[in-house]
Every structure is written in C-alpha cells, then in structure tokens.
Amino acid sequence: MSAITTEGNLFERFGVDRYLTAYGLSVHPDYHGLGIGLKLLEAREPLCKAIGLKLTGTVFTAAASQYLASKAGFEVIAEHYYKDHYVNGVIYFPELKGKVTLMAKSYH
C-alpha cells in the first residue's frame, strides 16, 4: 500500500497539502447489495466540504470496492496487479487475481 501511495503522490498530483483517506471499504456480507458501500463513499463529499478538504483518496484492494469507488466518481491514479508484486525478488502473490488500486476524487 505504501508503494502505490508513494507512486500516486496525491499531494503533488492534485496540489494539496492534505486529503481525507481511509484504509479500504468493507460491508458485512449480510448487507451486501443494499448500496451501503456506495453511500459510505458518497458520504466523504459533505465531510470533506465541511472540514475544508478538496480531495479524498484511498487504496482499494478488492474488485468490489474498486467498482463502487468508480461508481462514486473516484478516478484511478495508480494500480498494481497482485501477480506482479515482488518481495526480495520473488513474486509474492503468484496465484492471486486482481489488483491494488489508488483512487481519488477531487471536490471543487
């Protein structure tokens, strides 16, 4: 997560000195399909506006949360596929499908 956050450098890319972030998005399986994840992401806008922030950004690690972030208006800033992630020269997740994605949404 730190590598993709450094690569995406939201501070420099958006010219801000602070932004709202979180570590992922998770909704209990009993409540999937009710729009809760999307509402959680959409709730960032009034929060950001209330505290004077112009940007929110998060690293999303699952396809479902990446889809919801896109639906909420977040844009992809950087992404790394799990199958290409190396640690000490060894592929760390050779069988894992999907990607880690840094996504952000700017409020003007």
Q: What is the CATH number of the domain that holds 95?
A: 3.40.630.30
Number of domains in the chain: 1
Helices (H), 15-101: 36-42, 44-51, 63-71
Domain that residue 39 falls in: 2-106
Q: What pTM was computed for the model?
A: 0.89
pLDDT of residue 107: 95
Tokens of 91: 């592929």
| Percent of the chain predicted with pLDDT > 70 | 100
Nearest to 31 by CA among 70, 64, 69, 56: 64
Could you say which residues of the chain have pLDDT below 70? none
pLDDT digits (tens, 9 = 90+) for 83-92: 877 777 887 7
